[in-house]
């Protein structure tokens, strides 16, 4: 068998030969192909001798240079683009992928581990195919390589309420199409056990059943899982509540140190939001996952959104958010609206423990949603303007919030609502980090008094992201900023670090 990488013009840019032996069972074969050049749009060909016959079950072509050199690892440039965000956690496998299109399509983590050829492929609600070459084991390894906490999200025993498929029993009524159905209660004990087994796979000793399977996969040390999400944007209904409670109670009983994250529906208000929060307070759920995709104006005028949340109660994970304009572009206007809003989220860091922009990755020409944070094709990676905001925040998140007003030359609420400041202290290196956002079409002049922090300097090196509102190509640049009186350019996000 000749295995070739073939350029669009038909020329072979690399090949290898594999000798296949007759067999009554499945046999795995591997080869390394060295290419002499790159050619965008190339494809893989398998050429058999005339008259030969073979059954082929799985074909996988991988770059030799993967992130951290992992076998079956991630494409290096994509993973590096994520790594420089310095994420504190990684959510997996993602919203509607987790709870699936009908009960039979709920993501089963056990089908994603073990030998690649033995894994169960899945289609999903977004109508694309998952080989699951990146399964739960690779996910845990990637988090470890990033220095990020894993945050697996599993179905609460119900598929997506927008499913086009019913439950998996013949007596399931057709009226469940597009509505919420649930795993039959008589099968829930087995499903709950699957979730507990995932925690054992991540954290169990090698003497446990699933800890031993992790060790067999090459990682005897535990992955130290601390968080687990149960549910995603679900209807908080009579179907959802008893199934969620079964899972929550079982995790709390067997793994009391695991932080369970619940769900409060798909929006920042409404019946599921209210019912989800009520359930969280009744059960004492440590944290809930809020989602909202909104117009930039909502982020401008709702910077007090978390100011009145209850303290010392259930915390918030803002698991999916983005600023959406008509046509769904990613540009300076959307990015700075998110930056402005994040300054208020940092101010409420005692309530909002974690945030994650969504969606994260999209392949050009194969998307069902806009905007995404990072686009890519077979050759290159294309970070968006919103990505640069995430990078600036992710690399400068700090450990505690410091109140530090910015006094600007206006008292007009429409003006002051478009100017944001967040100052945080970074315990790791002793820096104070100041983030300043101006979402006005004109410059804003203001003063910031850092002397209470032991800082008395006249200028500082800073990073700035700025441009016209529709600019989709803007990238950060280095600037020098005068202090304590400073001028923020129109449509700009400025960040600097200083030591006392």
Least confidently predicted of 220-224, 241-245, 275-279, 397-401: 397-401
Say which residues have a Cβ less than 8 Å from residue 283's Cβ, sequence separation at least 6: 245, 248, 262
- Tens of pLDDT along 1-57? 999 999 999 999 999 999 999 888 999 999 999 998 988 889 999 999 999 988 998
pLDDT at 268: 96
Residue range 85-112: mean pLDDT, rounded: 92
Q: What residues does each domain of the chain span?
A: 1-61, 67-394, 400-498
Q: Give strand pairing partners of 46.
A: 3
Q: Tell me what pLDDT residue 35 has.
A: 92
Give pLDDT, residue 167.
59
What's the maximum distance between 2 C-alpha atoms anywhere in the chain? 83
How far is 394 from 229, CA to CA, in rounded Å?
22
- Judge whether 117 counts as a catalytic residue: no
Residue appearing with tokens 């008292």: 411
Structural contact between residues 199 and 228, judged by C-beta atoms closer than 8 angstroms: yes
d(CA 288, CA 259): 10
Query: Which pLDDT score is estimated for 175?
Result: 44
pLDDT average, residue stretch 441-457: 91
Compute how many other C-beta atoms are within 10 angstroms of the C-beta atom of residue 44. 12
Look at strands 492-498 and 459-466 and give their pairing: antiparallel
Q: What is the pLDDT of residues 116-142, one digit of tens each?
A: 999 989 988 888 888 899 999 999 999
Model pLDDT, residue 465: 98
Among candidate residues 233, 333, 338, 346, the one labeled active-site is 233
Q: With helix as H, strand as E and coil as C, how does the chain read?
A: CEEEEECCCCCEEEEEECCCCCCCCCCCCCCCCCCCCCCCCCEEEEECCCCCCCCCCCCCCCCCCEHHHCCCCCEHHHHHHHHCCCCCEEEECCHHHHHCCCHHHCCCHHHHCCCHHHCCCEECCCCCEECCCCCHHHHHHHHHHHCCEEEEEECCCCCCCCCCCCCCCCCCCHHHCCCCCCCCHHHHHHHHHHHHHHHHHHHCCCCCHHHHHHHHCCCCCCCCCCEEEECCCCCCCCCHHHHHHHHHHHHHHHCCCCEEEEECCCCCCCHHHHHHHHHHHHHCCCEEEEEEEECHHHHHHCCCCCCCCCCCCCEEEEEEEEECCCCCCCCHHHHHHHHHHHHHHHHCCCCEEEECCCCCEEECCCCCCCCCCEEECCCCEEECHHHHHHHHHHCCCCCEEECCCEEECCCCHHHHCCEEEEEEEECCCCEEEEEEEECCCCCEEEEECCHHHCCCCCEEEEEEEECCCCCCCCCCEEEEEECCEEEECCCEEEEEEECC
146-155 pLDDT per residue, tens: 999 999 999 9
Classify domain 400-498 at the CATH class level: mainly beta
Where on the phi/psi map is residue 82: left (φ > 0), alpha (ψ -120 to 50), or beta?
A: alpha
Higher pLDDT, 454 or 297: 297
- Cβ–Cβ under 8 Å, residues 116 and 178: no
- Same fold: 67-394 with 400-498: no
Position 459 pLDDT exceeds 90: yes
Q: pLDDT at position 209, please?
A: 98
pLDDT band at 171 (very low <50, low <70, confident <90, very high): very low
pLDDT, tens digit, 9 for 90 and up, residues 395-418: 999 999 999 888 887 778 888 899
Look over the chain and give the mean of its residue pLDDT values, rounded to a whole number: 93
Q: Using an 8 Å Cβ cutoff, are 299 and 323 in contact?
A: yes
Q: What is the pLDDT of residues 304-321, one digit of tens each?
A: 999 999 999 999 999 999
Could you tell me if 99 and 106 are in contact, meaning their C-beta atoms sit under 8 angstroms apart?
Answer: yes
pLDDT in the model for residue 164: 77
Tell me, what's the pLDDT at 414? 87
Which of the given ranges, 111-120, 211-220, 362-371, has the highest pLDDT on average?
Answer: 211-220
182 pLDDT above the threshold of 50: yes
Rg of the chain on CA atoms, in Å = 25
CATH architecture of 67-394: Alpha-Beta Barrel (3.20)
pTM for the full predicted model: 0.94
Q: What does the pLDDT read at residue 244? A: 98
What per-residue confidence (pLDDT) applies to 262?
A: 98
Q: Is the pLDDT of residue 189 over 80?
A: yes
Instruction: Say what the pLDDT of residue 166 is.
Output: 62
Would you state the pLDDT for residue 168? 57
Q: Contacts by 455-463 with C-beta closer than 8 Å and gap 24+?
A: 455/498, 455/499, 455/500, 457/483, 457/498, 458/482, 458/483, 459/483, 460/496, 460/498, 461/496, 462/494, 462/495, 462/496, 463/392, 463/494, 463/495, 463/496
């Amino acid at each position: 068998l000749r295995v070739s990488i073939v350029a669009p013009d038909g020329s072979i840019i690399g090949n290898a030969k594999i000798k296949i032996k007759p067999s009554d069972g499945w046999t795995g074969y591997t080869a390394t192909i060295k290419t002499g050049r790159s050619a965008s749009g190339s494809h893989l060909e398998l050429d058999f001798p005339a008259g030969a016959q073979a059954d082929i079950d799985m074909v996988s072509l991988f770059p030799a240079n993967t992130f951290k050199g992992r076998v079956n690892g991630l494409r290096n440039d994509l993973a590096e683009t994520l790594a420089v965000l310095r994420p504190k956690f990684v959510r997996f496998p993602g919203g509607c992928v987790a709870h699936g299109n009908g009960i039979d399509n709920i993501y089963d983590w056990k089908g994603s581990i073990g030998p690649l050829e033995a894994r169960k492929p899945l289609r999903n609600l977004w109508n694309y195919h998952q080989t699951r070459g990146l399964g739960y084991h690779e996910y845990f390894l990637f988090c470890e390589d990033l220095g990020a906490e894993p945050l697996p999200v599993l179905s609460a025993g119900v598929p997506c309420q927008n499913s086009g498929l019913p439950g998996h029993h013949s007596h399931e009524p057709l009226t469940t199409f597009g509505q919420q159905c649930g795993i039959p209660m008589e099968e829930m004990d087995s499903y709950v056990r699957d979730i507990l087994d995932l925690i054992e796979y991540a954290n169990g000793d090698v003497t446990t059943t699933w800890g031993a399977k992790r060790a067999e996969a090459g990682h005897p040390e535990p992955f130290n899982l601390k968080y687990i999400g149960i549910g995603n944007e679900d209807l908080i209904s009579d179907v959802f509540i008893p199934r969620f409670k079964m899972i929550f109670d079982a995790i709390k009983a067997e793994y009391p140190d695991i932080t369970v994250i619940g769900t409060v529906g798909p929006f920042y208000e409404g019946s599921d939001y209210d019912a989800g929060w009520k359930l969280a307070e009744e059960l004492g759920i440590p944290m809930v996952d809020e989602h909202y995709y909104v117009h930039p104006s909502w982020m401008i005028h709702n910077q007090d959104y978390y100011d009145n949340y209850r303290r010392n109660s259930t915390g918030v994970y803002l698991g999916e958010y983005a600023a959406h304009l008509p046509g769904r572009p990613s540009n300076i206007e959307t990015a700075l609206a998110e930056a402005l809003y994040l300054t208020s989220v940092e101010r409420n860091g005692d309530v909002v423990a974690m945030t994650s922009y969504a969606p994260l990755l999209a392949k050009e020409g194969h998307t069902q949603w806009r905007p995404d944070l990072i686009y890519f094709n077979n050759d290159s990676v294309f970070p968006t303007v919103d990505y640069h905001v995430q990078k600036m925040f992710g690399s400068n998140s700090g450990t505690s919030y410091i109140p530090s007003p910015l006094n600007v030359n206006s008292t007009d609420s429409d003006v002051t609502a478009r100017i944001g400041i967040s100052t945080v202290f970074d315990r790791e290196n002793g820096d104070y980090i100041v983030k300043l956002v101006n979402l006005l079409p004109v410059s804003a002049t203001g003063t910031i008094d850092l002397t209470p922090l032991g800082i008395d300097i006249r200028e500082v090196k800073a990073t700035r992201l700025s441009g016209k509102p529709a600019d989709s190509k803007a990238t950060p640049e280095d600037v020098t900023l005068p202090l304590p009186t400073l001028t923020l350019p129109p449509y700009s996000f400025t960040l600097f670090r200083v030591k006392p």
